[in-house]
Amino acid sequence: LGTDRSKLSKRHGATSLEAFRQRGVVPDCMLTFLALLGWSAGAGEEGEIFSREELIARFDLSAVNKAGAVFDHEKLEWMNGCYLRALSVEALTELAIPVLVEAGLIGGTPAEIDRGKVREVLSLTQERVKLLSELPDMTRYFFTADFEYDPKAESKWLTKPETADTLRGLIAALDSIPELTHESLEEAVRALAEQAGLSAAKVIHPCRVAVTGRTFGPGLFELMVVLGKAECVRRLRRALDHVQAQKEGETQ
């Protein structure tokens, strides 16, 4: 049944295995989810996340309920996220690479695929992903600077009077850091905030929007280390040019 207790149909969402595969539901999750439609591991058992071997060992057809089972898409996505988070970063990398190649974010030949970079990105985003199909949008800014600033993020953090000076300060601070680390970045940002008489948040948030186009995601300093110093400076300069162009447009 669908969540409205009527007979499951296409109006409730995807109903074919191929559609779920394309959305990025992993096989072991789909197997467990289907097994749990009308069946449970039994009284006293906790959790619903099983390996295939555990599921085979525990499943008992006599414990399946006769009442119609509800196919809950939200629960399936939640469960799939649990499976993805339980994977090693290496295993998730192998699942993610075809998805990222298809999205055009990384090259398709072995020589073009930087597995180390993909692993670094996934180590920062694995806790947030529920479906493999979410990965291209979730990780796009790690692989390309060709992104638009989220309108709400831009309005909130790139239009303040002090934004241009903040971005200039960030560029100078990064230029002076010999090696980008979480510690060196945090120290530079907090020093810049203190010098400008701003809270650290008023430096961190414009910086995040400048380098990712968004207001949310993994820890800023961690993702900047993955992007690298040169790329972060390029994106900060791009944001500064954008802010200055917007100001010039307003005065004309």
Q: Which residues are catalytic?
A: 10
CA 12 to chain centre: 26
CA 220 to chain centre: 13
Q: How far is CA 87 from CA 18, 123, 203, in A?
A: 22, 11, 35
Element (H, E) at 52: helix 52-58
Residue among 41, 35, 36 at smallest CA distance from 58: 41
Under 8 Å CB-to-CB from 6, ≥6 apart: which residues? none
Contact 81, 14 (CB under 8 A): no
Q: How far is CA 107 from CA 70, 95, 97, 119, 143, in A?
A: 41, 15, 10, 15, 11
Which region, left, alpha or beta, applies to residue 78 given φ > 0 means left and ψ of -120 to 50 means alpha? Answer: alpha
CA 226 to chain centre: 14
Residue among 56, 113, 122 at smallest CA distance from 87: 122
